[in-house]
A and B are shown apart, each in its own frame.
Chain A
């Protein structure tokens, strides 16, 4: 009974494959990435390339060590996607070794030690980001104001190389705070909300993306478009993004309504930080999110709530990475308890009984 060539059905297949899925996600991220590279210039591009290449190399090395076939796994595009997502959450002018360390943590510790693709419990890009944040807080919280390519203050190609590889980043002269970190600091000093927001928050600018932040935090519009593209192509379903945004905005509206002076409103939360990137690209990571619709709703709601809680009451201004990691830890539990109802059975698993059903003679 061990004939390898005997194939049972089905003998037809949809035009979807692992590689296509990953490529579609990369495609969806492309507008936001290109825009980010445009406004942050050459250093951002350098960091992006370094991170992605490091991820791919790390994956190849791990596969070789594990004795698995390298080409087939490398070409499915998952390492490149992890690299891209990680680079989107790093400060764009960070030094190259941040990218490389992050890539190693993401691929080796976040994915391969668990057994490779499909086996990891936590989102690899988020694992790397959090590890970097905790280990290198200075480099990871130093952001710059946008300097679009070919504008006055933008570094040229050689200067970009210096910044990324040569440590040419002068912290005091060049850095700016992100919206959320600035607001958090000011609120901590008991400045009323309006005064805290005024210098940094302009809805139009946030939507367009000309604000300091990481590559993925900037243009809300491009990220949203990418997310809608993924929805249209059925790579992700609506449950996680909608649930996450809904719970975040609900909490924000509630608390802003109660104390308008101390809690930023829903719009601020929506367009600042990596909210949209997290909702559409990170929380929806296929491997680490629940598989059923109800589970996904719960997962999304939990992410949104945690993002708000961490942003408001914890010591970090940006909570998406932590929130998602915490909910990732709950995914197996959610999958275990929230199962779909089986056809012909009720929620408890017993066969359905209809009124007027005649008892069988046997």
Chain B
């Protein structure tokens, strides 16, 4: 009667003690998780999510203050990646994947007000006061910040067209 009781109690104590020791010995300092999550984000600090940058957005997603679908440029891929990283389920039906686009300044409407290039997070717009502005297409991430602020609405967002060099076969459909 006593032997099983005693042995199981002893076992429980020993194993519990080992777990406690492991919790102290193998504790992980800091939060490397946050850096990993942040690395998933596009990094353009565009602010479309409502947070002042990608790092605060990552933090908000981790603490649960924001859903994983918060980042429009990241689209479905980012939402899925975040969901799997954080171990949450996500309903992707509401997300429309925005086709990648770039900004284009219609030069005959530009008044040189400089509002757009001050906002551009990657300095993709060149120009000066009273001078017509132009967008460096390679540096543009399509975040639409300039588009929102232009007083003459001369900036239009154009879709990035696939070329024969960027096109590839779609995934085959399944039978059942």
- Chain A: residues with CB nearer than 8 A to chain B? 1-4, 6, 8, 68-69, 72-73, 116
A1 pairs with B175, CB closer than 8 A: no
Q: A-B contact count, CB below 8 Å?
A: 16
Complex: A247 Cα to B90 Cα, angstroms: 53
Bound CA span A223–B113, Å: 89
CB closest residue in chain B, given A73: B176
Contact A1 B170 (CB under 8 A): yes
Please indicate which of the listed interface residues B169, B170, B175, B176 has the most CB atoms of chain A within 10 Å of its own CB.
Answer: B176
Which residues of B lie under 8 Å from residue A4 when comparing CB positions?
Answer: 173
Contact A8 B176 (CB under 8 A): no
* A295 to B163 CA separation, bound complex (whole angstroms): 44
Contact residues in A for B162 (Cβ distance below 8 Å): 1
Bound CA–CA A69/B176 (angstroms): 7
Name the distance in Å between A8's Cβ and chain B's nearest Cβ: 5
Offer 16 A-B interface pairs, CB within 8 angstroms, sorted by A: A1-B162, A1-B167, A1-B168, A1-B170, A2-B170, A3-B170, A4-B173, A6-B169, A6-B170, A8-B169, A68-B176, A69-B176, A72-B175, A72-B176, A73-B176, A116-B176
Question: Chain A contacts of B167 at CB under 8 A?
Answer: 1
Query: A67 to nearest B CB, angstroms?
Result: 9
Interface size class of chain B, counting residues whose CB lies under 8 Å from the partner chain: under 10
Nearest 4 CB-CB pairings of A with B = A1-B170, A68-B176, A8-B169, A2-B170
Which chain A residue lies CB-closest to B167?
A1
Question: Which B47-96 residues have a C-beta within 8 angstroms of A?
Answer: none
Complex: A8 Cα to B176 Cα, angstroms: 20
Compute how far the CA of A358 lies from the CA of B176 in the bound complex, rounded to whole angstroms.
52
B172 nearest CB neighbor, chain A only: A8
**Alpha-carbon separation in the docked complex, A72 to B151 (Å):** 61
A189 vs B61: C-alpha distance in the bound complex, in angstroms? 73
Which residue of the partner chain A has the closest CB to B173? Answer: A4
Residues of chain B contacted by A1 (CB below 8 angstroms): 162, 167-168, 170
A sample of 14 more A-B contacts (CB under 8 A), given A4-B173, A6-B170, is: A1-B162, A1-B167, A1-B168, A1-B170, A2-B170, A3-B170, A6-B169, A8-B169, A68-B176, A69-B176, A72-B175, A72-B176, A73-B176, A116-B176
In angstroms, Cα B173 to Cα A6, docked, is 11
**Contact string, B139-168, partner A, CB cutoff 8 A, digits 1/0?**
000000000000000000000001000011
A4–B172 Cα distance when bound, in Å, is 8
> Nearest CB to that of A2 among chain B residues?
B170
Separation of A157 and B42 alpha carbons in the complex (Å): 77
A2 to B170, CA, bound (A): 6
Most buried by A among B167, B168, B169: B169
A338 to chain B minimum Cβ distance, whole angstroms, is 28
With CB as the reference atom, state the residue of chain B lying closest to A66.
B176
Contacts of B168 in A (CB 8 A): 1
Complex interface: chain B residues within 8 A of A72 (CB): 175-176
> Separation in Å of the B165 CB from the closest CB of chain A?
14
A72 to B175, CA, bound (A): 10
Bound CA–CA A316/B132 (angstroms)? 91
Q: Closest chain A residue to B175 by CB distance?
A: A72
- Distance from B92 Cβ to chain A, minimum over Cβ atoms (Å): 15
| A2 CB contacts on chain B under 8 angstroms | 170
**Smallest CB separation, A17 vs chain B (Å):** 13
Query: Using Cβ atoms and an 8 Å threshold, which residues of chain A touch B173?
Result: 4
How far apart are B107's CB and chain A's nearest CB, in angstroms? 33
Which chain A residues border B175 with CB–CB below 8 Å?
72
The CA-CA distance from A2 to B162 in the complex, in Å, is 13
Taking CB atoms, residues of chain B closer than 8 Å to A6 are: 169-170
Q: How far is the CB of B73 from chain A (nearest CB, A)?
A: 19
Name the distance in Å between A78's Cβ and chain B's nearest Cβ.
14
Q: Which residue of B lies closest to A67 (CB)?
A: B176
Nearest opposing residue in chain A for B168, CB measure: A1
Query: In the assembly, what is the distance between CA of A6 and CA of B171, in Å?
Result: 10
**Bound: A4/B167 CA distance, A:** 15
Q: In whole angstroms, what is the CA distance A6 to B168 when docked? A: 11
Instruction: Report the bound CA distance from A213 to B159 in whole Å.
Output: 73
What's the Cα separation between A136 and B80 when bound, in Å? Answer: 50
CA distance in complex: A326, B173 (Å)? 35
B46 CB, min distance to chain A CBs, angstroms: 25
Contacts of A8 in B (CB 8 A): 169
Quote the shortest CB–CB distance from B39 to chain A (angstroms).
Answer: 26
CB distance from A1 to the nearest CB of B (A): 5
| Residues of chain B within 8 A of A116, CB atoms compared | 176
Q: What residues of A have a CB within 8 angstroms of the CB of B176 in the complex?
A: 68-69, 72-73, 116
Q: Report B77 CB to chain A, min CB distance, Å.
A: 14
* Bound form: Cα–Cα A47–B53 in Å: 72
